[in-house]
Amino acid sequence: MITSTGGGELLLEYLLNPSVTSILVKGLPGTGKTTLALELLRIHGKGGLYVSTRVSKEKLEQQYPYVKDLIEKGKLIEIHQLKGVEGGVEFEDLRFGRSVDIIKSMLQTITKFKESLMILDSWDASAKELDIKERLRIEKSLVGMAEANKAKLVFVSEEPYLTTTDYLADAIVTLKDEEIEGRRMRRIEWNKLRGAEIPQKSYLFTLHGGRFRMFQRTEAGRPSEIEAKPFEPMIHSKARYSTGSRDVDDLLEGGLRKGSAILLEIGKTVSTDWQLPLLVSMELNFLANDGCVVNTSYAGLTPCMFKDVVANHMRKDIVESMFRIGHYEEFRPDPCFFMLDLLSMDKSFERLWDEAMKVRKASGRPCFIFIDMDTGGLIHSEDDIIEYSLKLSLKVKQFDDVLVLKLEENNEGKQELSTFCDKHIKLDVIDGTLIMYNVRPPSRVYVVGYDHSRGYPRVELTPMV
């Protein structure tokens, strides 16, 4: 089971339901309109026509390699090859043709193939030659002929304002290329969808690998909903510790550098369920590589709950000897728990570091230390917390350990903490989708998915391109 963002193909299939005959894809140049149109053609899987007023077949094959693959497999066929072939797709290069030629070509194809899908890229390039009345008449004729033959029409347009096509189309989507803190963010906005409810106004999408992929709301999956299995580690390198995810390792330039401090900033709408698999993946990988882990309490989780999440995937003897949680409340006796001091930050620091040294000595391996800054901030002053974190960052450098400091984005100490940390990563949610990126040093935006198919969380990142 993959409980992650994705599955956008199901939403795209709504555009191909029987109640939709005409689809209008709008957006400025470079927003991904052609890629979306070709993805609809791929999902449709039947005969069709791709009419281009802007790109040759050769250039299309260069930009979208899978189009060439379809041609070679006989699923995308040139016009002169179509006789006697079922399920073919014509490519019509009408960059220099008149609008009347384009209309004639489409009408011929509609009657040639039942249930075909026809893409007119770009429709506005042809429509501008027509007056409003003629344009509306032709559009109505195309839609009427498509309905009679159970075909579908995809109009690709760069016209930002309302036109006759907007009023005639059964479905309208607008693609947008935006920025978040100087980083690319792609959105698809659902403006109209006949015969189906639009569950959400906009979704994130990517053109990674030359394909259109839309992301639905993130579903991290609760531990109780997953059939837990033993964690299979990713081996550390000589200079860096693996996070348990190749994608996250790549984002961190090979993994967690030995002796480094990482600031993990959490957006205000990111729930604990969406944060936890990332941390659990890193901690499980440390334990599975014979390392040790020391935490403070995690916001929203009791120490018992936190321990159980890890214990579901790791041997009991390893958890009891190498996994520790510091907390401020009384809990049942447990070798994994130790008390922090409610009154003194210095004493809390000493107890945490003493616990880290004990488990380090027992394992002879490095320690992964996690501090929830917001939990500590409810008890100690901000200045004390920052001083405490700075001391820890110096300690981990001395022993080649790793320190992860987690805080919410509205934490006033964020800038100062970011300055002395080696990396600053942010988890946030946009349009219901979990994203991740490096604040410092800067990186592109990645969509976060959690794959639980192995019986434990594995973090997957998809770049926003």
Q: What is the pLDDT of residues 211-259, one digit of tens each?
A: 899 998 887 666 566 788 999 999 999 999 999 999 999 999 999 999 9
Both 167 and 193 in one domain: the answer is yes
SS3 76: coil
Tokens of 248: 């996250």
- What is the number of structural domains in the chain? 2
Q: What confidence score (pLDDT) does residue 365 get?
A: 83
Q: Among 180, 214, 248, where does a domain finish?
A: 214
Q: Cβ of 405: how many Cβ atoms within 10 Å?
A: 28
**HSE-up of residue 353 (Cα within 13 Å, Cβ side):** 16
pLDDT at 171: 95
Q: How many other β-carbons are positioned within 10 Å of the β-carbon of residue 253?
A: 12
Whether omega for the bond prior to residue 441 falls within 30 degrees of 0, making it cis, is: yes
Q: What was the pLDDT predicted at 240?
A: 96
How high is the pLDDT of residue 32? 94
The token duo for 1 is 């089971």
- pLDDT attached to residue 199: 82
pLDDT at 344 over 90: no
Q: Residues 322, 328, 329, 332: what is their CA dihedral angle, to the nearest 10 degrees? A: 10
283-314 pLDDT, tens per residue? 999 999 999 999 998 877 889 999 999 999 99
Residues 133 and 171 in one domain: yes
Check the CA dihedral 265-268-271-274 and report its sign. Answer: negative
pLDDT for 119 equals 86
The residue range of the domain holding 329 is 223-463
Q: Are residues 196 and 263 in the same domain?
A: no
Do 62 and 170 fall into the same domain? yes
Q: Give Rg (Cα) of the chain.
A: 28
C-alpha distances out from residue 348 to 91, 242, 352, Å: 70, 29, 6
Tokens in use for 349?
């620091």
Residues 189 and 248 in one domain: no
Of the candidates 80, 156, 76, 81, which has an alpha carbon nearest to the alpha carbon of residue 116?
A: 76
Pairing type for strands 152-157 and 2-4 reads unpaired
CB 291 within 8 A of CB 368: yes
Looking at the fold, whether 201 and 251 belong to one and the same domain comes out as no
Domain end among 197, 214, 231: 214
pLDDT in tens, 420-462: 899 999 999 999 999 999 999 999 999 999 998 899 989 999 9
227/369 same-domain check: yes
372-430 confidence digits (pLDDT tens): 987 765 677 778 888 888 888 999 999 999 999 999 988 888 888 898 899 999 999 99
**296 and 399 share one domain:** yes
Q: How far apart are CA 164 and CA 167, in angstroms?
A: 5
> What is the DSSP secondary structure assignment for residue 422, as one 8-state letter?
S
CB atoms within 10 A of CB 138: 20
pLDDT tens digits along 158-202: 988 888 899 999 999 999 999 988 899 999 999 999 888 888 899
Q: Are residues 184 and 285 in the same domain?
A: no
Mapped onto helix, strand or coil, the DSSP state of residue 215 is strand
pLDDT in tens, 34-51: 899 988 988 887 767 777
Antiparallel, parallel or unpaired: β 446-451 and 458-463: antiparallel
| Token digits of residue 178 | 């935006």
CA distance 249 to 451: 16
Which one has a higher pLDDT value, 81 or 74?
74
Question: Does 148 share its domain with 231?
Answer: no
Average pLDDT estimate for 129-144: 85
CB 253 within 8 A of CB 395: no
Mean pLDDT taken over the chain:
84
Same domain, 159 and 248: no
The CATH number linked to 242 is 3.40.50.300
DSSP bridge partners of 408: 266
Sign of the torsion formed by the C-alpha atoms of 201, 211, 440 and 3: positive
Vertex 368 angle, CA 257 and 268, to 5°:
90
Residues 123, 165: contact at Cβ < 8 Å? yes
Q: For residue 280, what pLDDT band results from cuts at 50, 70 and 90? A: very high
Q: 56: pLDDT confidence band, cut at 50, 70 and 90? A: low
Domain stop point among 147, 179, 214: 214
Same domain, yes or no, for 339 and 239?
Answer: yes
Burial of 101 (0-12, 13-18, 19+ CB in 10 A): middle
pLDDT at 379: 75
86-89 long-range contacts (CB < 8 A, ≥24 apart) are 86/47, 87/45, 87/46, 87/47, 88/47, 88/113, 89/41, 89/47, 89/48, 89/49, 89/50
